[in-house]
A and B are shown apart, each in its own frame.
Chain A
């Protein structure tokens, strides 16, 4: 498929799902009502509140989170030249989660709203940096996964410790709900808190495409083509930390988007890492918005958590991927 056509198709799909996500929920709306409500001219003022203040920020955040995860996955896979790299697998997401839980534990987020996203992004950065320090520059698949698992486990252990020592049941439930990952009850305040950081991360990650292309021929060839490999690595670290940190700070942990999306799209862009970046961002946005529609549509006693759903869908995919890799190596 043509690259431009692919991007167009994904953009149309994303816009369509964003619109659908304005319609579904406890109060279903027709398309006409939703459009009128979006522009503030609905007959029923409650519809305006539902669309503008509840569903629109939720949809925007879903797209932001998905784009961040998809793009970070594509960049990490290109940087490490490994199809298993993903913000969740490399421990970045768990570290961001730890940062957020620390902010909740000490009650910083109540005193200073930026504390939670900042702590999440800071820990995401620390986690990615640790990964590179331990796994080194030419990490094989095994080293990388083991280091990621170790980092992830450490972050999860420290997160559990924070919950273990949590000052009161209210704080505990806040942490748990937050960790399950959800877009429930998000407002434009959340958008304005997280979007600038995520956007900064996207911009940084967008500049890595050329270097990632060159890296597909190995670090030496990349360097001989004028790529500053050290700087590329640093940009990828900072970019994923910002984007994933902002995403995790908004929704809690939403797994496997960063793994699945670049994988599905890679053959469509003929495996070229730079051509994968924008489609992965769009694809990630589509997947999370779609998942967020699903949690509202699937009938259940209380609303399903987004992170739970993506992991439930993602893990079978991950297993299928491993089987396929094994099968193709035979």
Chain B
């Protein structure tokens, strides 16, 4: 059952159209990947879907236009994890993760039991519990990325939009985070994730969308979509393929010669 969908989403930046009539949807229980070269419009699409960017077309949550929702209501339903980490004050990790509960909290009220539990769970899932009282400015890049992921998870929204969540992580944490997304999907949430790693996309995503220059050029199951022809056309590369434990492996191999 589709929970979040975008129909003919276009975004203009000045006179330039950076996203052109993109259609995308995600159902409960689904992990969907957004792929494409740099500047293809993946981040733009994700922001448009989360209501952070003015766009034309129709973005709906359970059939309701997200622009008709109040910011409060929308923020409880769609959690967004931006690509770049911004942290302006060296707050303790727990306080940062707790900001994910803002959509659920009223003005001037202390956090409720549910808020504290959500924060604890999110921190446990992202393996940052041991960092709880550390300040942000004392963390490594990978630790920061996990803390900010915990912040997004703490919202406990049925839809999570994550922009390159694994780019800054070591292999162990990359796998852990993707496993976590898959688990959330299996539990009935919907996750859209921007990925650059074709191998992970092929292995973890139920469906993928491939964008190029603002246009959706392919969509469907990863094994069907990531053909030699598409990789050549969109990325200008060829890939090496193999299989392991019955799953297919895809590794970018070399830049294709024209």
- How far apart sit A171 and B91, CA to CA, in the bound complex (Å)? 50
Chain B binding surface, main DSSP class: mixed
Chain A CB within 8 A of B61 CB:
no
Q: In the bound complex, do residue B103 and residue A216 qualify as a contact, i.e. CB atoms below 8 Å apart?
A: no
List A residues 312-330 near B (Cβ within 8 Å): none
Chain A CB within 8 A of B78 CB:
yes
Q: In the bound complex, do residue B75 and residue A216 qualify as a contact, i.e. CB atoms below 8 Å apart?
A: no
Q: Which residue of A lies closest to B104 (CB)?
A: A226
Contact with A along B94-119 (1 / 0, CB 8 A): 01100110110101000000000000
Q: In the bound complex, do residue B86 and residue A271 qualify as a contact, i.e. CB atoms below 8 Å apart?
A: no
Q: Which residue of B lies closest to A221 (CB)?
A: B82
List A residues 221-278 near B (Cβ within 8 Å): 221, 223-228, 266, 270-273
Q: Which residues of B contact A228 (CB under 8 A)?
A: 71
- How far apart sit A171 and B97, CA to CA, in the bound complex (Å)? 57
Across chains A and B, the number of contacting residue pairs, with CB separation under 8 Å, is 76
Q: In the bound complex, do residue A220 and residue B52 qualify as a contact, i.e. CB atoms below 8 Å apart?
A: yes
Q: In the bound complex, do residue B102 and residue A214 qualify as a contact, i.e. CB atoms below 8 Å apart?
A: yes
Contact with A along B39-68 (1 / 0, CB 8 A): 000000001001010000000000000000
Chain B CB within 8 A of A207 CB:
yes
Chain A CB within 8 A of B76 CB:
yes
- Pick from A213, A221, A227: contact of B80, CB under 8 Å: A221
Chain B CB within 8 A of A55 CB:
no
Contact with B along A179-222 (1 / 0, CB 8 A): 00000000000000000000000000001001001111110110
Q: In the bound complex, do residue B75 and residue A225 qualify as a contact, i.e. CB atoms below 8 Å apart?
A: yes
CB distance from A183 to the nearest CB of B (A): 32
CB distance from A70 to the nearest CB of B (A): 17
Q: In the bound complex, do residue A81 and residue B88 qualify as a contact, i.e. CB atoms below 8 Å apart?
A: yes
List B residues 187-238 near A (Cβ within 8 Å): none
- Pick from B71, B80, B88: contact of A216, CB under 8 Å: B88
Size band of the B side of the interface?
A: 20 to 34
- Pick from A81, A223, A270, A271: contact of B52, CB under 8 Å: A223
CB distance from A144 to the nearest CB of B (A): 13
Q: A207-B107, A226-B74, A226-B102 are in contact. Are A216 and B82 (CB under 8 A)?
A: no
- Pick from A214, A224, A271, A273: contact of B79, CB under 8 Å: A224
Q: Which residue of A lies closest to B73 (CB)?
A: A226
Q: In the bound complex, do residue A210 and residue B95 qualify as a contact, i.e. CB atoms below 8 Å apart?
A: no
Q: A213-B102, A217-B151, A220-B52 are in contact. Are A226 and B76 (CB under 8 A)?
A: yes
What 12 additional pairs, Cβ within 8 angstroms, besides A215-B88, A224-B52? A210-B107, A217-B87, A217-B99, A217-B151, A218-B84, A220-B47, A220-B82, A221-B86, A223-B52, A225-B99, A271-B90, A271-B92
24 contacts between A and B (CB under 8 A): A81-B88, A215-B88, A216-B99, A217-B96, A217-B99, A218-B82, A218-B84, A218-B88, A220-B47, A220-B80, A220-B86, A221-B82, A221-B86, A224-B50, A224-B52, A224-B80, A226-B71, A226-B73, A226-B74, A226-B103, A227-B71, A270-B95, A271-B90, A271-B91
Residues of B at the A interface (CB closer than 8 Å) are: 47, 50, 52, 70-76, 78-80, 82, 84, 86-92, 95-96, 99-100, 102-103, 105, 107, 135, 148, 151, 155
Residues of A at the B interface (CB closer than 8 Å) are: 81, 207, 210, 213-218, 220-221, 223-228, 266, 270-273
- 10 smallest CB-CB distances across A and B, nearest first, come from A218-B86, A226-B75, A224-B80, A81-B88, A271-B89, A226-B71, A226-B72, A226-B103, A271-B91, A225-B102
